[in-house]
Structure formats: C-alpha cells, structure tokens
Amino acid sequence: MTFPGFSPRQASTGIGLQKAHYKDFLKERQPVAWLEIQAEDFLNFETEEFQFLERIREDYPMSLHVTNLSLGSSDGIDEEHIKRVKALIDRLNPFLISSHLSWGRIDGYYLNGLFPIPYTQETLELLVSTVNRVQEIFESPLLIENPPTYLQYKISNMEEVDFLGTLVHRTGSGILLNINNVYVSCHNHGWDVEAYLKGVPKGKVKEIHISGHRIQGPFLVSDHESDISNEVWNIYQKAIHLFGPVPTLIKRKTTVPDLKFLLAEAQKAQNILNQIRTPSNTTRKERHVRFG
C-alpha cells in the first residue's frame, strides 16, 4: 500500500478541528494547511454538524484519527465499528488515517482508553494480523501512534520502538510519531530520548503530533490540554532533522484554546519545518511556507 497525500517537500502543519471553531472555518480561510478530525465524533452523517464538516472539507485536506480501533485487543477488531469508520473514510477521503499502539476493549467491555500492551512476539503477531485486516477494510495504509505509558510489563522482551518498527515493516503501515508521548514515556521509564528517536525507522514516519503533558507525582502525564513544553519543541526540532519534513499536528483536545493560539503554535511548527528544507530540492517560493 502506498501513502497518498503530501510529499515531504509539501509537509506542513495542521490543527485538530474543534466544534468551537467551526464558524471560524466556515466564515473565511484560516492560515492552516490541514485539519485532523476524530473519527468517532462523525460516524453519523445525518446531522448538521456533519454538514459543517463536509463544507469545511471542501477547503481543507483532512487527517482522520481513530480512537477506538483497539488494535492491541486480544478480542480482535470490532468489524462493525471499523466498517462505520470506512464509510466515513469514503465520504471524506482523508490524506492520512491513524490510530494507536494500544488496546481498550476486552470481553465486550470498552474501557475507552489507551492501555499499554506487552511488547512480545505474541502481541506482535496479533497486531500484524489486526493491522493488515484494518488496512484491508480501509483500503488504505494506517499510521500507528506511539502511546504515552505509565507502566511496563514483566513479560515484555522488546523495546517499544523496535516493536513499533517491526510492526510497520511487516504490515506496510506507517508511524505517527507523537513527540510528547516519546518524551513522557522516556521520562516515566528512564529511556533515552535520543536512542528512541534513532530507533525509529527512517522513511516510516508519515505524521508527527506535538502535544502537552502535566506533572503528576513522579510521572509526566499526557493530557492534550497543557501547553507544549520547551523540551517537546526541542525534541520536535531533532526529529525533523532526523526524519525530514513530515506533516505535523498541534494536538489540543480537552480544553480548547482560542483558534489564534492554535494557529500560532502551528506556525511555530511550520517555521521549524521550513528550516530544514534543503536548498537543492526547493525553490525559493517553497522554502518559506507561511499561511495567511
């Protein structure tokens, strides 16, 4: 399977589309290249909100993030849920589709969270099978996001980054690298950030998320409402130099700030992307992307 959409030279930044900002996007063109939507918010097409979404889609490419795929569930996938997501994919034609390296469903119960999986051969084989099946139904490659984790399992015998790399190689899927989650997990488990980044297979990172976290006791906790820390911005800069320009999302979900704030963050990320466009394969016009 091949990845459609942006080529590395066209890599640019996006923000999550929030209900509070629909009117702004419908009123006039906003200075952002693309938008992310959460699939589970739009599975019903007969609502005014979906009509807004389709109108906004006419002006902005969209990336689709699926929260409840539960790729790592030993129950296997919920085909009913996935088919509903597929219907949404057919309507919106997103340029990227992503989900998480985690699980959230067992024995019919939905825990509606992103829980850690043990990194073992057993889990790897399950995930290879699941991801292949999801990609088959979606008729599109999937990006798999590294999770924030707050515990490790005794039986894990692979590093998370190696597990993820092997998974994407075997399935032809890609990586959504969440820089904040790298920072959070490395802090929580004593892993080395540089080693983690170097372990990510080059060429497989197709999207990057940048988000916030809070301090809670000995932990950093990823929360989608805190501001992006300087440490995460620094790691992002290193990641772009390692992986090249990649579509980058400013992830903010829970407490939705002013649109101007989000757009400013997106521009900050875009400025970093612009820094590493090499003169040999860009025109003067392409070198500095700025919106608005």
What's the number of CA atoms in the CB half-sphere (13 Å) around residue 221? 9
Write down the least CB distance from residue 269 to another protein, Å: 26
Tokens of 143: 């990006």
Cβ proximity to another protein, 201 vs 225, nearer residue: 225
Residue 24 CB, shortest distance to another protein, in Å, is 20
Q: Which of 63, 77, 133, 147 is nearest to 106 (CA)?
A: 77
Of residues 28 and 48, the one with the C-beta less far from another protein: 48
Kindly tell me which of 24 and 78 has the beta carbon lying closer to another protein: 78
Retrieve residue 177's tokens.
């690298």
| C-alpha distances in Å from residue 238, one per residue of 74, 197, 232, 272 | 36, 9, 10, 10
Tell me which residues touch another protein (CB under 8 A).
40, 43-44, 46-51, 67-68, 70, 72-74, 78, 81, 103-113, 115, 117-118, 120, 122-123, 126, 150-156, 188-189, 216-219, 221, 254
Q: How far apart are CA 180 and CA 81, in angstroms?
A: 28
Instruction: Tell me the torsion sign for CA atoms 34, 173, 128, 118.
Output: negative
- 109: exposed, middle or buried (C-beta count within 10 Å: 0-12, 13-18, 19+)? exposed
Residue 209 and residue 200: Cα distance in Å, rounded?
15
Amino acid at 95: F
Q: How far is CA 102 from CA 99, 147, 194, in A?
A: 9, 7, 23
Find the shortest distance in angstroms from Cβ 136 to another protein. Answer: 20
Least Cβ distance, residue 80 to another protein (angstroms): 10
> Residue 14 CB: number of other CB atoms within 10 A?
27
Q: What is the H or E stretch that residue 105 is in?
A: strand 103-106
In whole angstroms, the minimum distance from the beta carbon of 73 to another protein comes to: 7
CB 155, min distance to another protein, A: 6
CB of 153 to another protein, least distance (A): 6
